[in-house]
Amino acid sequence: MDTQMQTSVGGTGARRIDVIVVGAGFAGLYATYKFREMGKVVVGVEAGGDVGGVWYWNRYPGARCDLMSVDYSYGFSPEIEQEWTWSEQFAAQPEILAYANFVADKLDLRRNYLFNTRVTRATWDDEAKLWRATTDGGEVLEAPFCVMATGPLSVPKDPDIAGIERFEGQLLRAQKWPHEPVDFKGKRVGVIGTGSTGVQIIQTLGSQAGELFVFQRTPSFTLPMRNHVLEPDYVAEMKRHYRAMREAMRNNPTGGTRPATTRPFFSLPPTQRRQVMEQAWINGGHTFLGSFADLLSNQEANDQVADFVREKIGQIVTDPKTAEALKPKGYPIFARRPCLDTEYYETYNRPNVHLVDVAADPIVEITPKGIRTEAGETELDILIFATGYDALTGALLAFDVVGRNGRTLKEKWASGPRSYLGIMLEGFPNLFAPNGPNGPAALANLITIAEHDVDWIAELIAYMDGNGLRSVEPSARVEDAWMDLVAMLAEKSLIRKANTWWVGANVKGKPQGLTMFIGGFQKYREHCAAAARDRAENLVFDRARESAAA
């Protein structure tokens, strides 16, 4: 155990430290490192058995990040950049988890963490100006600052289908995949869910399972990933240019290196538009989004790109009925998170892969032997849920967070999440949420945002330390103004037109609406910089009692 941690036991049985960090994903690891470097005593609390966050849990077949490896990695340490070598353009889960472990080893971060431990309650003590966090291990941590690095996608959601507990075969959840290998050979395997997770599982298991049944309710638009091995020359060049790439990422709406464009779709004549789309299809990745600037604001432009992709699906999938069922309809392309695939549509040309269109033939129940739809029962040996998450707010609302005057976060967020910059909450002093639900969250590179948010928080804490300030929270006025801006931008976006986790539609009873800042990472950074400049106006500080009394 960390010596810093041992020396900080208080008289109440609580351990008195400086910063509680909840989560050992990429945001939590960086926060722990950053605050420790500032000389703070930090304790991290992580439910998993080790570091990695979502990449620790998501070990399902085919799990891979659809952001480029160079983008989806830390930029704060040139040493780590030089010592770590990515093997593929889009890294698979084992490599990303190995990277998280490499960083944790290199920076000796595990000594700060309590693993296999959950925070069950966190309460603000306004007298003592402390957060008091209780863990399921019975430990109480007290710290002036609490950083909720709980991740936007960390609370798995089972489908709302009757009979789950009756299934007698092997039930697997993508987001809590077993650490032991699963044998699919000769098995009848069912998958529910065709979002990013389901697509990766399906394209991988098509060649492994005896028979694969895909229970699809809403087809996703998926684009070719065109993944490839990174050649040594390319890696060497990348390593020489990391600084310039990080700078480009900071100035990019997605927080990645893919160049953005200001070109509207209809600024090109039809033949050129077609050429650009063909090229985007050939290049793969999220090239489409970087090809035209207005795909999420101009319905007509969006329709044309959607038609183009539907046409491609029709060309790839040989059975016309299956092809038709796989074509997404009724919502704009990119309004549901676009997936990147490797021969996903081709998988449906295999004789052992069967698409069950449960929009047309709804699931009635899960039975002991498999799944019963209105048309009949499909017997299964293995059933996989790739049914997503109670995203953005789920992890923060999974335990009691109690702010000033006993107000809980559940009360504050009863009508949906509210915060200032996605990072701070009125009524919850000294509580910070990097990658919070009102920042760019899942609409940009989560590692870039995490680093930015943690740096922003660290700068604020350093300012407080330097000025004898003990607590900080946004004023109600600036929080309202931020939420008005978020709502105003959301109003213009086609994202609202799809029922997805982005708008809370996948969880029954959850407040609906697009609460993420859709102005892009670069603009977000500018807002945060302005907020820091005008701290005195935007934030409410409580002067240390000693200095107030002096």
User: SS3 for 143-159, per residue?
Assistant: ECEEEECCCCCCCECCC
Check binding of 145 to ligand N01 (CB under 6 A): no
Q: What DSSP string describes 469-534?
A: EEEEEE-HHHHHHHHHHHHHHHHT-GGGGS-SGGGTTTSTTPPPS--S-TT-HHHHHHHHHHHHHT
- In the complex with ligand N01, the residue whose CB is nearer, 388 or 427, is 388
> In 10 A of CB 312, how many CB atoms?
17
Options 36-44, 60-68, 272-280, 423-431: segment touching ligand N01 (CB under 6 A): 60-68
Helices (H) and strands (E) in the chain, counts: 20, 23
Task: Please report, as a single letter, which amino acid is at residue 115.
Answer: F
Check binding of 159 to ligand N01 (CB under 6 A): yes
Check binding of 358 to ligand N01 (CB under 6 A): yes
Check binding of 161 to ligand N01 (CB under 6 A): yes
Check binding of 422 to ligand N01 (CB under 6 A): no
Options 1-9, 386-394, 424-432, 452-460: segment touching ligand N01 (CB under 6 A): 386-394
In whole angstroms, the minimum distance from the beta carbon of 159 to ligand N01 comes to 3
Sorted by sequence, the CB contacts under 8 Å of residue 314 that are 6+ apart come out as 320, 323, 327
Options 6-14, 113-121, 165-173, 385-393: segment touching ligand N01 (CB under 6 A): 385-393
Structure tokens at 270: 């039809």
Q: For residues 475 and 539, is the Cβ–Cβ distance under 8 A? A: yes
Q: For residues 114 and 45, is the Cβ–Cβ distance under 8 A? A: yes
Site string for ligand N01, 330-349 (x = CB under 6 A): -------x------------
Check binding of 66 to ligand N01 (CB under 6 A): yes
Please pick, from the candidates 288, 501, 517, 541, the single residue that binds ligand N01 as defined by CB under 6 A.
Answer: 501
Please pick, from the candidates 5, 107, 143, 386, the single residue that binds ligand N01 as defined by CB under 6 A.
Answer: 386
In whole angstroms, the minimum distance from the beta carbon of 517 to ligand N01 comes to 16
- Using CA atoms, how far apart are residues 92 and 115, in angstroms rounded to an integer? 24
> In 10 A of CB 197, how many CB atoms?
25
Q: What's the helix, strand, coil split of the chain in %, to 5?
A: 40, 20, 45
Q: Comparing C-alpha atoms, which of 93, 102, 90, 100 is closest to residue 52?
A: 100
- In the complex with ligand N01, the residue whose CB is nearer, 62 or 144, is 62
- In the complex with ligand N01, the residue whose CB is nearer, 443 or 478, is 443
Structure tokens at 40: 């703070």
Check binding of 506 to ligand N01 (CB under 6 A): yes
**CA 264: distance to chain centroid?**
28
- Using CA atoms, how far apart are residues 128 and 124, in angstroms rounded to an integer? 9
In whole angstroms, the minimum distance from the beta carbon of 67 to ligand N01 comes to 7
Phi, psi torsion values for 311, nearest 5 degrees = -60, -45
- In the complex with ligand N01, the residue whose CB is nearer, 309 or 358, is 358
Check binding of 65 to ligand N01 (CB under 6 A): yes
Structure tokens at 249: 């990422």
In whole angstroms, the minimum distance from the beta carbon of 358 to ligand N01 comes to 6
In whole angstroms, the minimum distance from the beta carbon of 434 to ligand N01 comes to 17
Measure the N-to-C terminal CA separation of the chain; round to a whole number of Å.
39
Options 193-201, 344-352, 398-406, 479-487: segment touching ligand N01 (CB under 6 A): 193-201
Site string for ligand N01, 204-243 (x = CB under 6 A): -----------x-xx-------------------------
In whole angstroms, the minimum distance from the beta carbon of 383 to ligand N01 comes to 12
Check binding of 193 to ligand N01 (CB under 6 A): yes
Please pick, from the candidates 52, 75, 255, 388, the single residue that binds ligand N01 as defined by CB under 6 A.
Answer: 388
Residue corresponding to tokens 């058995």: 49
In whole angstroms, the minimum distance from the beta carbon of 106 to ligand N01 comes to 24
In whole angstroms, the minimum distance from the beta carbon of 186 to ligand N01 comes to 26
Sorted by sequence, the CB contacts under 8 Å of residue 501 that are 6+ apart come out as 388, 389, 391, 392, 507
Structure tokens at 309: 């992709």
Check binding of 442 to ligand N01 (CB under 6 A): yes
The residue number with the shortest CB distance to ligand N01 is 195
Check binding of 195 to ligand N01 (CB under 6 A): yes
- In the complex with ligand N01, the residue whose CB is nearer, 198 or 437, is 198
Sorted by sequence, the CB contacts under 8 Å of residue 356 that are 6+ apart come out as 213, 214, 215, 216, 373, 378
Binding region for ligand N01 (CB under 6 A): 64-66, 153, 159-161, 192-198, 200, 215, 217-218, 337, 358, 363, 386-389, 442, 501, 506
